[in-house]
Amino acid sequence: MERRRTAGHFAAMFTIIIWGTTFISTKILLTDFAPVEILFFRFVMGFAALFLVCPHRLKMVSRRQEAVFALAGLCGICLYYLLENIALTYTMASNVGVIISVAPFFTAILSHLFIKSEGKLRAGFFIGFAVAMAGVTLLSFNGSRLKLNPMGDLLAVLAAFVWACYSILTRKISSFGYPVILTTRRTFFYGILFMIPALFFFDFEIGLERFADTTYLLNILYLGLGASALCFVTWNFAVKALGAVKTSVYIYLVPVITVVTSVLILKEPVTWVTAVGTALAVAGLFLSEYSGKRN
């Protein structure tokens, strides 16, 4: 049991490290690709990779379970990324970064309401949440001025809530007893299915000739095979091993990984604001992780 929990922590940390670096690949691809194109290509590629790794199909799935898979695909694959991308067109990336980090709080509330096995929330979780959010805020703004935009900020709040719903649904799926790769692939299938109608409302083009550029090809491979296929499997494994709440608090580290990546790869300077923000985000994670829930 303890070994499984340790593996869950490593899986969550690994996932967050990859997700925290995806902004570089996304930024490169945005030169010639629309956000919805990147989204569609990465998850189609992720689905194909999971099928090649494990071509077996899920058997004996009930209608009720199928509905849970469909809802998970709608929330975690389709709505979350669409809401986040649309929010970025209305408000600053710093606003979205802070608001998305509220997802663990929503996850904790929904878990308390719908998943009794997750246990009772304790004061440490909320203290950790407050400390982490202070750190995330410092990292996201880092000297820039807060500028509210009701439409964009509301969409970001909805994205955070939708991700919390996905976390709860993933926890439910883990109780079905199916292999994680197969359940992740089924979730991807529904996410792509729900995404297709949205393609008609955005500037979507197949334009596969763009991948003749090696830089674009390598970056979409990183997003599709790494950040999508592999990381959704490791994240779902972590949720299965640790629970929805304990796994979700790792989201606090996304802006930390982004800052570290910016310093190492983009050679951006380290300021006292980023140093303090990083320390607070990490401290908030530990407070929430080790004091927030009773095992």
* pLDDT at residue 293 in the model: 45
Q: Which two tokens stand for residue 134?
A: 């202070």
130 vs 128: CA distance, rounded Å: 5
How far does Cα 147 stand from its chain's mean position?
A: 24
* pLDDT at residue 16 in the model: 94
242 vs 4: CA distance, rounded Å: 9
Q: Closest Cα to residue 153, out of 81, 80, 78, 94?
A: 94
pLDDT along the chain (295 residues), means of 10: 90 94 86 91 97 90 95 96 86 77 90 75 84 85 66 90 96 94 97 93 89 96 96 96 91 85 76 85 83 46
282 vs 68: CA distance, rounded Å: 33
* pLDDT at residue 26 in the model: 86
Q: Closest Cα to residue 218, out of 228, 209, 226, 206?
A: 226
Q: Closest Cα to residue 8, out of 184, 239, 252?
A: 239
- The answer to whether 218 and 60 have CB atoms below 8 angstroms apart is no
- The answer to whether 122 and 291 have CB atoms below 8 angstroms apart is yes
